[in-house]
A and B are shown apart, each in its own frame.
Chain A
Amino acid sequence: SQTIHQWPATLVQPVGSPLSLECTVEGTSNPNLYWYRQAAGRGLQLLFYSVGIGQISSEVPQNLSASRPQDRQFILSSKKLLLSDSGFYLCAWSQLGYEQYFGPGTRLTVT
């Protein structure tokens, strides 16, 4: 069966510090991968998606970047965090654009 991992589960970082969140998927090949951000009590904002290694589509221009160095690994990064980067970051995978399966998420607080 397929599983998706995200880490860390929670993170508190000062403004201006770098960020690296990692997501890995097991049990499937060549998945579509997605990064979402959810502000407290709000909906899901798609940040990036990838249909293959090295292929990244950005939905919202901002302080973040994404990379896909391996087939089942998706990384979300920032060089300098802003207060507005706080939120719940969710990674998800899908096959052929069908239903998406979400990881447990990372709660990021920028102080």
Chain B
Amino acid sequence: GQQVMQIPQYQHVQEGEDFTTYCNSSTTLSNIQWYKQRPGGHPVFLIQLVKSGEVKKQKRLTFQFGEAKKNSSLHITATQTTDVGTYFCASIGAGTALIFGKGTTLSVSS
């Protein structure tokens, strides 16, 4: 079945450094969604990308959807300690269910 693979699994950065997580699929995706889960919390929706080559920004976060709609990335510029958490990508699978990647856990040291 459809799968989305995320890399890296873990990433540690110094505060102020940039961070990128990648999401890849062997099949064409109808859309891609990104979620953030703070330690001890629940996933929170960040954004949805639908169009080929789409780029969206939220302050220091930049989201991209590949031209072939098989990959996506989330880039954080100048990380802060508030960026700590696990970032998941997800795409629509069978029916309305989302297929989640395994997530990238970001830690930031000040």
A99 to B101: give the CA distance in the assembly, Å.
15
- How many interface residues does B have (CB within 8 Å)? 20
| Interface residues, chain A, with chain B CB atoms under 8 Å away | 32, 34, 41-44, 46, 49, 51, 57, 59, 90, 92, 94, 96-105
Asked whether, in the complex, the Cβ of A57 is within 8 Å of the Cβ of B43, the reply is no
Task: Tell yes or no: B51 within 8 A of A by CB.
Answer: no
Contacts of A90 in B (CB 8 A): 42-43
A61 to B9: give the CA distance in the assembly, Å.
27
Interface residues in B70-110 by Cβ distance below 8 A to A read: 88, 92, 94-103, 105
B32 to chain A, nearest CB (A): 11
A101-B45 contact given A43-B101, A43-B103, A44-B88, CB 8 Å threshold: yes
A99 to B100: give the CA distance in the assembly, Å.
12
Asked whether, in the complex, the Cβ of B100 is within 8 Å of the Cβ of A43, the reply is yes
Contacts of A105 in B (CB 8 A): 42
B106 to chain A, nearest CB (A): 13
Contact digits for B31-43, partner A, Cβ 8 Å, 1 yes 0 no = 0010000000111
Task: Tell yes or no: B48 within 8 A of A by CB.
Answer: yes
Contacts of A92 in B (CB 8 A): 43
Asked whether, in the complex, the Cβ of B103 is within 8 Å of the Cβ of A99, the reply is no
In-complex Cβ contact of B96 among A44, A59, A94, A103 (8 A): A94
Asked whether, in the complex, the Cβ of B98 is within 8 Å of the Cβ of A46, the reply is yes
A17 to B39: give the CA distance in the assembly, Å.
29
Q: Using CB atoms, name the residue of chain B closest to A100.
A: B98
